[in-house]
Amino acid sequence: MNALWKKLCLAGMALMALLAATASAHELSMAEMALRETSRGEFTWQWTARERATTRDINPVWPAGCTAEGNFLHCGPGGLQGTLSVDGVGKRYSAAIVKIQWLDGQTRVYTLTSGQPTVQLYGAADDERGVGEIASAYTLLGIEHILTGTDHLIFVISLLFLVGFNRRLVWTITAFTGAHSITLALSALGLLTLRPPPVEAAIALSIMLVAGEALHKEATLSRRWPALVAFLFGLVHGLGFAGALKQIGMPEQHLPIALLTFNVGVEIGQLAVVLAAWVVYKTLSPWPRFAQARTPSLYAIGSVAVYWACGRIFAIVA
């Protein structure tokens, strides 16, 4: 291990205690509710174990015609149909996952976010949402995921440090996009499956490596071929996106549309971050001290990545 990596590791270890309360992974904070239809129009419902202690922060708003008594929901002959929402989504939790097991044994999963705060239910497992509604919902979910995905965003910013704002950045971002689109699709369709802990650890290590390479002044492989590096690590990040998408759930009737539009949302959010970074760069680059912030910024990024990598590797072996 050379002196550069030693410095990064030492800085990361020194920041562990400080970051413990503030660093976050890329996953959405989600609440999960389970409903089961026991007879026509009659349901039992509950939050999963991790949300029960904080149910005061999230409350379901049932469709008109349904009334709740404790963990029992009575909807009458019309069944569970109408608009369902959850108060508190977008505050403590960024999404609420509602899993309904209908009387015929079929299960459907619905996702509510601050951008898509309601879902329409039809009294049975058949999902009558149109293509437009599915596309809108999953595009917003993709944007929300990338904008709240701290480690994915930091990786993109690390690539900006490595490449700079020039023509090579187009190829680098395109390679990253193409790679994570491939593994996102393969994993979401069940053709490629990996356990989340190794994926999360690899994502943290990818940030650490790119930050370290950006600190080098000589022409390393990463500096000469940043698009190749972005593509290889993009394959790993795509698995991370797929893990979040699996937690959210996808409509069986419109699986290709949900997958495509979620990925489109991710790209919209990613390009928005690159554009914002370019605006900041153009605004502040005339200041002499701006260039001096490059090295401390990369050490900070590398240190956070070391912290994440240590925690996630420990989760694998624990």
Give the whole-number percent of the chain exceeding pLDDT 90.
27
At 247 the pLDDT is 65
Query: Given pLDDT bands bounded at 50, 70 and 90, which one contains residue 132?
Result: confident
Regarding predicted confidence, which is higher, 13 or 191?
191
pLDDT > 50? residue 53 = no
At 188 the pLDDT is 80
For the chain, how far is it from start to end, CA to CA, in angstroms?
A: 25
| Amino acid identity, position 247 | Q
| Strand-pair category, 95-101 with 30-39 | parallel
Residue 237 makes CB contacts below 8 A (sequence gap 6+) with 152, 155, 176, 179, 180, 203, 206
At 55 the pLDDT is 58
Chain Cα centroid distance, residue 136 = 17
Sign for the CA dihedral angle at 188, 194, 200, 204 comes to: negative
223's tokens: 């500096």
What's the mean pLDDT in 150-164?
91
What's the mean pLDDT in 27-53?
78
Q: How many helices (H) and strands (E) does the chain have?
A: 10, 9
* Phi, psi for residue 54 in degrees, rounded to 5: -125, 30
Q: What is the pLDDT of residues 257-313, one digit of tens each?
A: 888 898 899 899 999 999 999 999 999 888 888 888 889 999 999 899 999 888 888
What's the mean pLDDT in 188-196?
81
Does an H or E element contain 198, and which?
Answer: helix 196-215
The residue behind tokens 């000589």 is 218
Query: Given pLDDT bands bounded at 50, 70 and 90, which one contains residue 72?
Result: very high
Q: Are 173 and 230 in contact (CB under 8 A)?
A: yes
Regarding predicted confidence, which is higher, 251 or 256?
256
What's the mean pLDDT in 216-235?
86
Query: Given pLDDT bands bounded at 50, 70 and 90, which one contains residue 10?
Result: very low
Query: Given pLDDT bands bounded at 50, 70 and 90, which one contains residue 131?
Result: confident
At 120 the pLDDT is 75
Maximum Cα–Cα distance across the chain = 73
Rg of the chain (C-alpha set):
22
pLDDT > 60? residue 76 = yes
Regarding predicted confidence, which is higher, 55 or 89?
89
pLDDT > 70? residue 23 = no
Regarding predicted confidence, which is higher, 22 or 302?
302
Lowest mean pLDDT among 104-113, 207-216, 244-253: 244-253
Query: Given pLDDT bands bounded at 50, 70 and 90, which one contains residue 110?
Result: confident
Q: What is the pLDDT of residues 136-154, one digit of tens each?
A: 888 888 888 888 888 889 9
* Phi, psi for residue 25 in degrees, rounded to 5: -80, 180
